[in-house]
Structure 1
């Protein structure tokens, strides 16, 4: 067959392009294929470019980021015209932040479900969405090259990422450290003469928080709050960081001073805390012998410690503006635990919010959220910790590419937002391939998993599930009414928000194996509809103007 010179040139370009694609698909970051490790990869389009997919044996895929290949969600602005909308889609099979645009219709889709919105009926104000800077996250982050570090931190906090605006960090060590430690491990040092930040703070947490703080300024002020897992072991009646010990009564003031010294040290490094939770999971030690850093703090003891020790110490140290968040544990302890603390007049005025973890969440205790809002309406509720894999077999602590875990995240954010919660904060920002490091072997999953050996990281479906909210729901937004709150659709869950600038955000989750059609009616007084198809196993964010 005769091929012209021009034709041969085009054919050569096609061959070279094909070879390049094959090389990307078959090689690891170091350019070497490792046999059985060469999983299937192919490209998926996002708003900003290509996602290098990798399937790791679960039902969906991860997006691979290396120094040379890494998609970013990019800029996805709200429409400015009142009759147009934008839809952002992620699903199990194909997409991550796939963006489409449309014009509202004058009639709903035949056979579809009509969902009415009313942005004039507004509920709680949103504080934000984010994750946690732990020792483990810092260790894996700084194990990457500078170029890949930049991509990872932008993925979370950059305007072209998913725009996190709130972060939690431990006071001292947690299980997600390589060792148990505190800031003063000299027994009996009640004057805290030997208090000092640990190397983990100076090498990992402080520099990572400062980089996040700088990036977050592109979209919002970063709110940082801190949580203690355990005081120095010598301040506890069991003499250990872990287990079921509680604070020795004589150590109440030294421990309050310890917290203030932490706040001072971080503030001197440009990291003034927005808030603190008063104790991570204060009742866990009454339920089981905790394998990692912990302390029992009953509501009665917490109330006394706050009034007699911590509040005066905060005032003396110039931290009166600190937001105090109590409880910081499962919703099965609502509303009785915080209610006992807030029964004290001074604390009822000084406490700002109630922290909630998701580990004891069941359909049967979901009503505790609405009860808490009804009984304690003057305090925000903030989801302060979640992760998956903690109760899985050892080989399934990390499930790279699992879509079910993304659904769990999206479902939790929707159900808590629909019941008065003002934000949702994930656990570790990033972990290694095992789900650590963790000194207590309490390995879990994370939205980003890091492979430091090959200088790359994987964005999991959970990352995109979080981004469907964090990137679009602005601080100061209000949760607003939608008819799904009272007339649910099988397999479909949704939340709606009104941003301060008049942009409306609706996030929908379809957990069914089949697609479904939904017609959103943004303004009940107008016959205008957003007719959308929810793909099977998908999350969609719909953006439009309120008026």
Structure 2
């Protein structure tokens, strides 16, 4: 969640950040029906040297719909600047693109991150305006600390990576997770299968009715492949501290009231402890592979198995706040906190904004004090255009000691949207940026 402020600031300047390396290289342009993209191959990928501002400066890295790619310019605090950059990837070699940036800073001693955080209205209006940008900093106002930036590794990601040679895989890993690239440090991965897998699956599908999880003694080949990819990611990205968050979509069907992967189904009460042990077992097995789990959640989108089963046909497990409070307070919380892995963070809800803060208030009314087991809240973005960000403000006002992470967002989930990538789509980038900034 916290990283997204930077993305919007960049977009306000038509900016995208690419992987950094020892040197820069030219973009290999390709036009698609949605826009212009730079092609990355095993032997060539466009990189950007990591520009560093001098004292009293802001470095702006700009891209445009028509072809500017990572054009670097420097702005000085207290000065109005107009910069003209050539647009070599535009419709003609002679085409120029002029853009104006103004920086009027009240306190130039403020850090760059703090400077960005004080510009909500200005940056939002900047998305639809070509006027100058005025930044004013109030040192007395403090905001959240940044937990990190991240992406996801699912079964589909592993499948697609295996279709590429090692050089291309390395480009992908470095572009996202190298400290000179996007610098991601968070990663979400499913426990078992998810809707971004080739088929539904879970640990200990057989034997059935087995609360001791006797067949859950090693990682499944699906996860062995993920671990291999994550080890390579950490190696080529020089990343030691990869914060992995794990979340389960569904237990094996024999634990569920409906006995199938999706539909209206909840966890059978006789398996409450087994489902808690299931999470701990995954943490143990990942740690044995030198892939420690930083955090887990109480389960992906619990309302899918209760309220939205007519529309959701992928793996799910339904919860209502009352039952989830009992499971967290009496089973999952004690199981994790009384184990070797007591410091693993637990995030609650992992669902849409419209369930905040009511979900947690109802949990607490069932088991007073249950929220003490939660280190933070996980939220998804899919109906944010309908439900206001004030719901998140209210949640954090009630429980200011909790972390807040946006753990899932993608485009193409609605029936009227393209189900898949739109390579070069500026509009999709703007949707991400605007939504992330106003979370």
TM-score class normalised by the smaller sequence: 0.7 to 0.9
1:334 aligns with 2:356: yes
1:403 aligns with 2:426: yes
Greater RCO (CA < 8 Å, at least 6 residues apart)? 1
Cα gap change, 1:364 to 1:298, in 2 (>3 Å): closer
1:359 aligns with 2:382: yes
2:336 aligns with 314
1:198 aligns with 220
- 1:83-135 residue CA offsets vs partner (Å, 9 max, x unmatched): 22211112222223321123334569698453312244111111011110101
Residue 160 of structure 1 deviates from its aligned partner by: 3.2
User: 1:75 touches 1:159 (CA, 8 Å); kept in 2?
Assistant: no
1:64 aligns with 39
1:209 aligns with 2:230: yes
Match of 1:149 among 169, 173, 184: 169
With structure 2 as the length reference, what TM-score do the two structures score? 0.78
User: 2:352 touches 2:382 (CA, 8 Å); kept in 1?
Assistant: yes
1:292 aligns with 2:314: yes
Q: Secondary structure, in 3 states, of the residue corresponding to 1:124? A: coil
In structure 2, runs of 5+ residues without a counterpart are 1-17, 82-101, 105-130
1:95 aligns with 68
194-203 or 329-338: bigger deviation: 194-203
1:104 aligns with 2:77: yes
1:391 aligns with 414
User: 1:165 touches 1:216 (CA, 8 Å); kept in 2?
Assistant: no
User: 2:413 touches 2:419 (CA, 8 Å); kept in 1?
Assistant: no
With structure 1 as the length reference, what TM-score do the two structures score? 0.63
**Going by fraction, where is strand more abundant, 1 or 2?**
1
Partners of 1:376 and 1:395 lie apart in 2 by: 38
User: 2:353 touches 2:387 (CA, 8 Å); kept in 1?
Assistant: no
Partners of 1:391 and 1:325 lie apart in 2 by: 26
Q: CA RMSD in A?
A: 2.3
1:373 aligns with 396
User: 1:233 touches 1:239 (CA, 8 Å); kept in 2?
Assistant: yes
Partners of 1:131 and 1:107 lie apart in 2 by: 37
1:302 aligns with 324
Match of 1:251 among 260, 266, 271: 271
Residue 401 of structure 1 deviates from its aligned partner by: 1.3
Residue 394 of structure 1 deviates from its aligned partner by: 7.7
User: 2:328 touches 2:373 (CA, 8 Å); kept in 1?
Assistant: no
- 1:303-347 residue CA offsets vs partner (Å, 9 max, x unmatched): 101111112221343121011100100000011112333454543
- 1:368-409 residue CA offsets vs partner (Å, 9 max, x unmatched): 111112122111111110000111458653212111000011
User: 2:249 touches 2:315 (CA, 8 Å); kept in 1?
Assistant: yes
- 1:50-69 residue CA offsets vs partner (Å, 9 max, x unmatched): 121211111x2222111122
374-383 or 230-239: bigger deviation: 374-383
1:450 aligns with none
User: Aligned runs of 1:270-281 on 2, under 5 Å?
Assistant: 270-281=290-301
2:438 aligns with 415
Match of 2:204 among 147, 160, 184: 184
Residue 169 of structure 1 deviates from its aligned partner by: 0.3
Count of residue pairs the alignment pairs up = 367
In structure 1, runs of 5+ residues without a counterpart are 1-43, 417-547
1:264 aligns with 284
